[in-house]
């Protein structure tokens, strides 16, 4: 049976990027993304926000931490990952998150400290291939 696990999201960071390192000194970044959906119900404009937890690894994590902060827009590509564990009371817990494999800068049109231009543009950034 074929499988395909690909996620593409564009939204704003809900908090500053948290960067940590594993025991092997691999960088891991945790971030929250708010993705808005605009729609109409009975001719009334509505908006729905979905909050998504994301993680990035290696140079991708380091670069997201370096260039992004709360409120900044970002376009991410990645895959879904289900984390499962048992809490202190012995209950099974789980959390679905996006593991970021690639990201792109999104011009915020002057919001959030971007370049200030009014047009939206994206600059592709390969996962671990930034020349910094």
Query: What pLDDT is stored for residue 129 in this prediction?
Result: 47
Q: For residues 95 and 53, is the Cβ–Cβ distance under 8 A?
A: yes
Identify which of 35, 38, 74 has the alpha carbon closest to the alpha carbon of residue 51. 35
In a domain, 91, yes or no: yes
In a domain, 97, yes or no: yes
pLDDT tens per residue, range 6-18? 999 999 999 999 9
- The residues with which 53 forms a beta bridge, in sequence order, are 32
CA distance 65 to 63: 5
The domain containing residue 120 runs over which residues? Answer: 7-125
Show the tokens assigned to 37: 């959906």
CA distance 4 to 24: 30
Count how many domains the chain has: 1
Query: What pLDDT is stored for residue 107 in this prediction?
Result: 78
Q: For residues 76 and 63, is the Cβ–Cβ distance under 8 A?
A: no
CB within 8 Å of 119: residues ≥ 6 apart? 107, 109
Query: What pLDDT is stored for residue 28 in this prediction?
Result: 98
Query: What pLDDT is stored for residue 109 in this prediction?
Result: 57
The domain spanning residue 63 has which CATH number? 2.40.50.140
**Residue whose tokens read 């390192």:** 21
CB within 8 Å of 68: residues ≥ 6 apart? 13, 17, 31, 74
In a domain, 99, yes or no: yes
In a domain, 2, yes or no: no
Residue 48 CA, distance from chain mean position: 18
For the chain, residues with pLDDT lower than 50 are 110-123, 129-132
**Residue whose tokens read 């593409």:** 8
């Amino acid at each position: 049976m074929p499988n395909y696990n690909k996620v593409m999201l564009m939204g704003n960071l809900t908090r500053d990027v948290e960067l940590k390192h594993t025991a092997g000194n691999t960088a891991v970044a945790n971030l929250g993304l708010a993705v808005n959906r605009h729609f109409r119900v009975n001719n009334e404009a509505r908006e729905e926000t979905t909050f998504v937890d994301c993680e990035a690894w290696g140079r991708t994590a380091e670069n997201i931490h370096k260039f992004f902060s709360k409120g900044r827009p970002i376009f991410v590509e990645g895959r879904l990952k289900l984390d499962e564990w048992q809490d202190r009371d012995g209950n099974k817990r789980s959390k679905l998150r996006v593991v970021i494999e690639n990201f792109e800068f999104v011009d915020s049109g002057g919001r959030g400290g971007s370049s200030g231009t009014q047009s939206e543009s994206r600059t592709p950034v390969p996962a671990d291939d930034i020349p910094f």
